[in-house]
Amino acid sequence: MTHLGRPREDSPSRRGVLRTVSALGAALMAGAPGVPARAATPSPPDADGYPPESPATSIGTPDPQKAQEIKAEFLHAWNGYREYAWGHDEVLPVSGGYREFFSGRHPVGLSIVEALDTHYVMGLDAEVDRSLSWIGSHLDFDLDADFPVFESIIRLVGGLLAGYLATGETHLLTQCVDLADRLLPAFTKSPTRMPYRYVNLRTGVVSGVRVPLAEIGTNILEFGVLSQLTGDSRYYRAAKGALAAVVERRSPLDLLGTTLNVESGKWTDWTDVAPNPPADSFYEYLWGGWAMFGDSDCLNWFRIFDASLKKRLAERAGGLLWFKQVDSRTGALLGRQQSSLAAAILPVGGDNPLAADYYRSWTAVQDKFTVIPEEIEYTRLTAVVPVNALRPEYANCAFDLYRQTGDPFYRSTAWRYFQSLKAYHRVPGGYTIVTDVTKRPMTKGDYCPAYVFAENFKWLYLTFADAPRFDYASGYLSTEAKILRGIRHPK
């Protein structure tokens, strides 16, 4: 491939490029051939309990002191990455080392890509420029390595898209297209339209036929925006085709299993674990297809599963709302465990009372453990997996519900989450995971996932800052907290 360098000195100024991006975005509102028009805010579908999201035009009265403290802690984490792992995927902040997320032989600066729109929305322009310089000079996807399709889309494709929308740097979009084209064989070579789990970025060879539900169906936001920006409908068609292929394979109870063989099209695990991983973001992206693009098929599919999950999986234990695991064919009970990743799913779909109910369940977990464990057994509220891998979903849910309702409860609980983050995850070299939240003192590991730079601090900052570079009325963030709609460019 042609090496992608930095823009020439005589290229347009960033302000000029941003004006071009704004004009392009306005043109895309009308859609391109074969590409759905971008919906600023979806119209009410009807009056049967599925209202559209109605976020406020701002986050309410800002709290600059808390926002500044959150930004300072983000910078503490980021400075650890810059010192110990610059250009590598992820930092080991205790030992001062690094690790690569996708391939041990091929770093792609994952943390740098993940952080792009976080830097922008926090006003950290020097870090934006530093990151753009590295990406323009070093990022290259012509790699003889098998990359996971799901992670590549939500993290790299999404990160480059959000960075482009924030900065207008055209080389980001060029690199995004290059990567997406290298990932497309995972979809186009599949006999069922559901993507293989891995693709070799250089050769296009695909592998991994047993694929979890979320990895099949968490593509339409990133690929849809890319189709809009390029006028190339292949990306949206691929993502929607994968969603449709799953919907066709739902059980007579309108439930879904956990894992599919993407060559045979048959379920290899019939357990419905929603809203837990590895199914969680499949449902989130059904709603996203409607909210972002006005795709009525996605809305109808979301309705089908929303109704079945409420009917067959929702239950109460200790006065709290949870979701049991069942056999998707019969509805038979299979388990009562819950992952902390599930916390972010319910705010989509407009059912704020249900989402608030579930958020209070996870608040009870935070109250008991101080730091939320990875997985619990909810009838006894015990930690099954006591690790906290710096998961951002509780903060994500707090932001969504505060934006939608204005209830200060979500700010106060988000602040408690932040205080625990600072108290138990902070180390001199940044932020690291906790290996056992049940021990006192809590034991720490030596690993900072790259998603920390995309998610935790961004969700918190947006909750308290009333950020001028984010449109609270129209903004839409991906499952990886990439701002795919709602970036502002203040004069």
pLDDT tens sequence across 244-295:
999 999 999 999 999 999 999 999 999 999 999 999 999 999 999 999 999 9
Q: Is the pLDDT of residue 124 over 70?
A: yes
Residue 37: pLDDT band with limits 50, 70, 90: low
Q: DSSP label at 485? A: E
- At residue 243, φ and ψ (nearest 5 deg) are -60, -45
Nearest alpha-carbon partner for 194 in 155, 239, 225: 239
Chain segment 65-90, per-residue pLDDT in tens: 999 999 999 999 999 999 999 999 99
Half-sphere exposure at residue 236, Cβ-oriented, CA atoms within 13 angstroms:
26
* Residue 210 tokens, joined: 């047993």
45 is a domain residue: no
Q: Is the pLDDT of residue 157 over 60?
A: yes
pLDDT at 58: 55
Half-sphere exposure at residue 163, Cβ-oriented, CA atoms within 13 angstroms:
33
Residue 24: pLDDT band with limits 50, 70, 90: very low
Cβ atoms of 312 and 376 within 8 Å: the answer is no
4 is a domain residue: no
Arithmetic mean of pLDDT over the chain: 90
The single-letter code of the amino acid at 164 is Y
pLDDT at 26: 36
pLDDT at 491: 80
Listed in order, strand segments (DSSP E) in 24-130 are 90-92, 97-99
Residue 74 and residue 69: Cα distance in Å, rounded?
9
Residue 482 and residue 185: Cα distance in Å, rounded?
24
pTM: 0.90
Residue 71 and residue 395: Cα distance in Å, rounded?
15
- At residue 86, φ and ψ (nearest 5 deg) are -50, 130
Nearest alpha-carbon partner for 443 in 424, 459, 418, 427: 424
Cβ atoms of 207 and 155 within 8 Å: the answer is no
51 is a domain residue: no
Residue 413 and residue 389: Cα distance in Å, rounded?
19
130 is a domain residue: yes
15 is a domain residue: no
Cβ atoms of 298 and 228 within 8 Å: the answer is no
Torsion angle of C-alpha atoms 155, 160, 161, 164, degrees rounded to 10: 150
For residue 38, how far is the Cα from the chain centroid?
A: 19
Range of the domain at 329: 73-485
Q: For position 261, which CATH number holds?
A: 1.50.10.10
Q: Is the peptide bond before 408 cis (omega within 30 degrees of 0)?
A: no
% of the chain at pLDDT higher than 90: 87
pLDDT at 326: 98
Residue 369 and residue 245: Cα distance in Å, rounded?
40
336 is a domain residue: yes
60 is a domain residue: no
% of the chain at pLDDT higher than 70: 88
323 is a domain residue: yes
238 contact partners, CB below 8 Å, separation of at least 6: 184, 187, 188, 193, 195, 219, 223
Cβ atoms of 238 and 279 within 8 Å: the answer is no
Q: In the chain, count of helices (H) and strands (E)? A: 17, 22
Mean pLDDT of 4-16: 30
Cβ atoms of 458 and 480 within 8 Å: the answer is no
Tokens 């998707």 sit at which residue?
328
Radius of gyration of the chain (CA): 21
Count of domains forming the chain: 1
Residue 200 and residue 189: Cα distance in Å, rounded?
13
Residue 360 and residue 352: Cα distance in Å, rounded?
12
Chain segment 417-471, per-residue pLDDT in tens: 999 999 999 999 999 999 999 999 999 999 999 999 999 999 999 999 999 999 9
pLDDT at 395: 98
